[in-house]
């Protein structure tokens, strides 16, 4: 019951007048009252049974070509079908690129969704892919790429938020959300949207390593890296030899003195966010578990060779180490390293066969094998995709292709995913879905569902305004048989 002028303060769902006022403020994010009421009512029911304990999210930024990977069209016109030949896989009727032979041998472990589709045909679709929500801004010529506090939170930040909330505000022994080898756009001078906590607050940003080549003419994704280059320690994370625990405690004491004054002032959300960041920093500095997990040298040379000594291979191995240590959502970014390479193959089509596909083939196959051997594959959801595909028709004589977000593939494995299957069919040009179009919102909702997170779950921004974790999308039930 809601009594506008009387004293009753609750509606049937149990929302107070204060909550309704917060809901009104949430309209800044485009939320509607009916949707929030439905979400609030849904919280009374138990969430889905988790299939996955953790997620490894392999993000191939730039957009791999569907026609050179998992949706080849060998019978198409010569101007469309691409320079590479298809080979058979373990999955009936799935023929994939000749430069992915190890993945072809393991296709019984993963499902190929061939018809992911959306209309945000530029790289700012990174926000949509990582959050499951449309980008809240419009870029002029695609140049407005940097993250802001108004962005939707990344999936990993949602996991971090819920894990901290469920722990009663206590920090888990290992951060739930992590990034390797660096945040998207760092090499190119961007701080790309979609990878942060956005309006949830900085306390829920992912822990990120910061491995970057210092020369814009070098590509550590295309070559073997030295151990000196593969320093996954977090910036500012030092050993006891560098900063003694006694010295650290004195630093903490100074902060406590500052806090004594600070508590006498009015608390603001920014100061509360600072508390969380401070606790995380101190935990990172004193945790042997975190320091050990981030030391890639503790892996045997044989395992490291299996993943590949290049940056993507070692970062993928680091993702496994992180989930073993307790991380719940680890994003492995394969970004452009020099600004003219990577999966954004407008002009660098030959790189697909020389570098991109062979190294993806090696690292992805090693990850599935390694997780299975360690008994982790059944509890780890492995997702691999870019933010779009490439144009059916080549735009250069070297098989460069432009952006194409209307039909592209995604791979899912582990955590009960039915391997050796395909979802969706594209048209004869691999341009549009013929059936079973799958949106990024569908993928996000499916990932959350696998982690046991209900679409009715309520998040609160830094001002306490409630928002449902999802407002669109359907679970891709075919993934799980």
Choose one of 257, 273, 292: the last residue of a domain. Answer: 292
Q: What is the pLDDT of residue 7?
A: 37
Q: What is the pLDDT of residues 348-357, one digit of tens each?
A: 899 999 999 9
pLDDT class for 299, splitting at 50, 70, 90? very high
Please state, in angstroms and as integers, the Cα–Cα distance from residue 140 to each residue in 97, 124, 145, following that order.
36, 11, 10
Can you say whether residue 62 is alpha, beta or left, with left for phi > 0 and alpha for psi between -120 and 50 degrees?
Answer: left
Q: What is the mean pLDDT of residues 407-419?
A: 98
200 in the same domain as 317 = yes
Q: Model-level pTM?
A: 0.84
265 in the same domain as 119 = no
- Of the given ranges (60-64, 199-203, 243-247), which has the lowest mean pLDDT? 243-247
Q: Which of 48, 84, 25 is nearest to 352 (CA)?
A: 84
pLDDT class for 275, splitting at 50, 70, 90? low
178 in the same domain as 280 = no
- Which residues on neighbouring strands pair with residue 423, listed in sequence order? 113
68 in the same domain as 38 = yes
Q: What is the mean pLDDT of residues 261-288?
A: 54
The Cα 141–Cα 446 span in angstroms is 32
434 in the same domain as 398 = yes
pLDDT class for 135, splitting at 50, 70, 90? confident
Q: Is residue 254 part of a domain?
A: yes
Q: What is the pLDDT of residues 167-181, one digit of tens each?
A: 886 777 889 999 999
The alpha-carbon radius of gyration of the chain (Å, integer) is: 23
324 in the same domain as 281 = no
Q: Is residue 132 part of a domain?
A: yes
Q: What is the CATH number of the domain that holds 419?
A: 3.40.720.10
Q: Which of 221, 183, 212, 180 is nearest to 362 (CA)?
A: 221
pLDDT class for 140, splitting at 50, 70, 90? low
Q: What is the pLDDT of residues 58-77, one digit of tens each?
A: 999 999 999 999 999 999 99
Q: Is residue 10 part of a domain?
A: no
Q: What is the pLDDT of residue 171?
A: 76
Is 60 exceeded by the pLDDT of residue 271? Answer: no
The two tokens of residue 152 are: 């939707």
The two tokens of residue 111 are: 């499902």
The Cα 218–Cα 311 span in angstroms is 12
Q: Which residue has the tokens 């306390």?
A: 203
204 in the same domain as 267 = no
Q: Is residue 3 part of a domain?
A: no
Q: What is the pLDDT of residue 33?
A: 47
pLDDT class for 6, splitting at 50, 70, 90? very low
Is 80 exceeded by the pLDDT of residue 4? Answer: no
- Of the given ranges (264-273, 282-291, 292-301, 348-357), which has the lowest mean pLDDT? 264-273
The Cα 415–Cα 286 span in angstroms is 33
Q: Is residue 421 part of a domain?
A: yes
Q: What is the pLDDT of residue 137?
A: 78
Q: Is residue 463 part of a domain?
A: yes
Is 50 exceeded by the pLDDT of residue 265? Answer: no
Q: Is residue 6 part of a domain?
A: no
Is 80 exceeded by the pLDDT of residue 282? Answer: no
**Mean confidence (pLDDT) of the chain:** 83
280 in the same domain as 242 = yes
51 in the same domain as 106 = yes
Is 90 exceeded by the pLDDT of residue 339? Answer: no
Is 80 exceeded by the pLDDT of residue 185? Answer: yes
Q: What is the pLDDT of residue 277?
A: 54
- Residue pair 396/351 in contact (Cβ under 8 Å)? The answer is no
Expressed as residue numbers, the domain containing 273 is 238-292
Q: Is residue 412 part of a domain?
A: yes
pLDDT over 70 for what percent of the chain?
76
Is 60 exceeded by the pLDDT of residue 425? Answer: yes
Choose one of 251, 269, 292: the last residue of a domain. Answer: 292
204 in the same domain as 271 = no
The Cα 123–Cα 341 span in angstroms is 14
- Of the given ranges (155-169, 300-314, 399-413), which has the lowest mean pLDDT? 155-169
How many structural domains comprise the chain? 2
pLDDT class for 481, splitting at 50, 70, 90? confident
283 in the same domain as 298 = no
What sign does the dihedral 211-322-479-132 (CA atoms) show?
negative
159 in the same domain as 84 = yes
Q: What is the pLDDT of residue 263?
A: 52
| Geometric angle at alpha carbon 356, from 355 and 358, rounded to 5° | 70
Is 60 exceeded by the pLDDT of residue 105? Answer: yes
Cα 47 vs. chain centroid, distance in angstroms?
22
The Cα 312–Cα 308 span in angstroms is 8
pLDDT class for 279, splitting at 50, 70, 90? low
- Residue pair 184/192 in contact (Cβ under 8 Å)? The answer is yes
**SS3 sequence of the chain:** CCCCCCCCCECCCCCEHHHHHHHHHHHHHCCCHHHHHHHHHHCCCCCCCCCCCEEEEEEECCCCCHHHCCCCCCCCCCCCCCCCCEEECCCCCCEEECCCHHHHHCHHHEEEEEEECCCCCCHHHHHHHHHCCCCCCCCCCCCCCECCCCCCCCHHHHHHHHHHHHCCCCCCCCCCEEEECCCCCCCCCCCECCCCCHHHCHHHCCEECCCCCCCCCCCCCCCCCCCCCCCCCCCCCCCCCCCCHHHHHHHHHHHHHHHHHHCCCCCCHHHHHHHHHHHHHHHHHHCHHHHHHCCHHHCCHHHHHHHCCCHHHHHHHHHHHHHHHCCCEEEEEECCCCCCCCCCCCCCCHHHHHHHHHHHHHHHHHHHHHHHHCCCHHHEEEEEECCCEECCCCCCCCCCCCEECCCEEEEEECCCCCCCEEECEECCCCCCEEECCECHHHHHHHHHHHCCCCCCCEEECCCCCEEECCCCCCCCHHHHC
pLDDT class for 290, splitting at 50, 70, 90? confident
């Amino acid at each position: 019951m809601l009594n506008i002028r009387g004293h009753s303060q609750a509606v049937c769902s149990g929302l107070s007048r204060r909550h309704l006022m917060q809901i009104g403020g949430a309209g800044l994010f485009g939320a509607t009252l009916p949707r929030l009421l439905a979400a609030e009512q849904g919280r009374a029911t138990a969430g889905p049974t988790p299939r996955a304990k953790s997620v490894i999210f392999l993000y191939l930024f730039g957009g791999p070509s569907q026609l050179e990977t998992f949706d080849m069209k060998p019978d198409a016109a010569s101007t469309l079908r691409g320079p590479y030949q298809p080979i058979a896989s373990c999955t009936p009727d799935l023929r994939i690129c000749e430069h992915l032979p190890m993945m072809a041998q393991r296709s019984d472990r993963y499902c190929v969704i061939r018809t992911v589709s959306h209309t945000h045909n530029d790289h700012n679709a990174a926000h949509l892919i990582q959050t499951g929500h449309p980008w809240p801004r419009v870029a002029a010529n695609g140049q407005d790429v940097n993250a802001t506090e108004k962005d939707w939170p990344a999936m990993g930040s949602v996991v971090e938020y819920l894990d901290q909330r469920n722990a009663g505000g206590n920090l888990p022994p290992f951060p739930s959300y992590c990034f390797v080898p660096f945040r998207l756009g760092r090499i190119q001078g961007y701080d790309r949207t979609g990878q942060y906590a956005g309006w949830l607050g900085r306390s829920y940003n992912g822990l990120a390593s910061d491995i970057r080549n210092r020369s814009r003419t070098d590509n550590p994704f295309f070559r073997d890296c030295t151990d000196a280059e593969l320093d996954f320690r977090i910036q500012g994370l030092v050993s006891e030899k560098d900063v003694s625990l006694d010295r650290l405690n004195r630093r903490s004491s100074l902060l406590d003195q500052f806090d004594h004054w600070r508590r006498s002032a009015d608390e603001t959300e920014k100061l509360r966010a600072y508390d969380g960041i401070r606790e995380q920093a101190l935990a990172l500095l004193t945790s042997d578990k975190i320091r050990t997990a981030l030391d890639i040298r503790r892996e045997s040379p044989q395992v490291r060779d299996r993943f590949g000594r290049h940056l993507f291979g070692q970062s993928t191995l680091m993702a496994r180490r992180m989930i073993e240590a307790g991380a719940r959502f680890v994003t492995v970014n394969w970004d452009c390293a020099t600004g003219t390479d990577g999966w954004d193959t407008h002009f660098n089509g030959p790189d697909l066969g020389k570098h991109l596909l062979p190294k993806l083939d090696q690292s992805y196959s090693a990850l599935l094998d390694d997780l299975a051997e360690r008994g982790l594959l059944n509890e780890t959801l492995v997702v691999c995709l870019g933010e779009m595909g490439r144009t059916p028709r080549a735009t250069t004589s070297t098989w460069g292709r432009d952006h194409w977000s209307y039909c592209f593939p995604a791979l899912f494995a582990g955590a009960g995913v039915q391997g050796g299957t395909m979802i969706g069919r594209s048209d004869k040009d691999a341009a549009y879905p013929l059936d079973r179009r799958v949106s990024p919102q569908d993928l996000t909702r499916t990932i959350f569902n696998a982690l046991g997170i209900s679409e009715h779950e309520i998040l609160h921004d830094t001002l306490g305004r409630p928002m449902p974790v999802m407002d669109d999308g359907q679970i891709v039930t075919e993934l799980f048989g």
